[in-house]
Amino acid sequence: MENVKIDKTIDARGSACPGPMMEAIRAIKAAPVGTVIEVLSADKGSTNDIPAWVKKVGHELVGIEERDGYWSIVVKKVK
């Protein structure tokens, strides 16, 4: 993911409610098509949940990266 240009980062670490996945949906809804959005989550479950939703809706999962105690999940809005 090193070469990916991220347009917007959502830091959802420490977000119990609404949580990283809801924050991801909110950001994707509000962004123009083509936007690359990074969601930071301290919840490992996000690495399954967010990609599952992205696949269902038809956006693109750019990648997932584990960092120091949290995960970066990068998504591109394609429609």
CB of 57 to another protein, least distance (A): 5
Pick 3 or 58: Cβ nearer another protein: 58
CB of 18 to another protein, least distance (A): 5
Please enumerate in sequence order all residues whose Cβ is within 8 A of that of 16, keeping only pairs 6 or more positions apart, or say none.
none
- Say if residues 38 and 24 touch (Cβ distance below 8 Å): no
> Which two structure tokens, joined as six digits, stand for 55?
């696949």
- Say if residues 47 and 60 touch (Cβ distance below 8 Å): no
Summarize as ranges the residues that interact with another protein (CB under 8 A).
10-12, 14-23, 25-26, 29-30, 45, 49, 52-53, 56-58
Is-catalytic flag, 7? no
Could you list the active site residues? 17
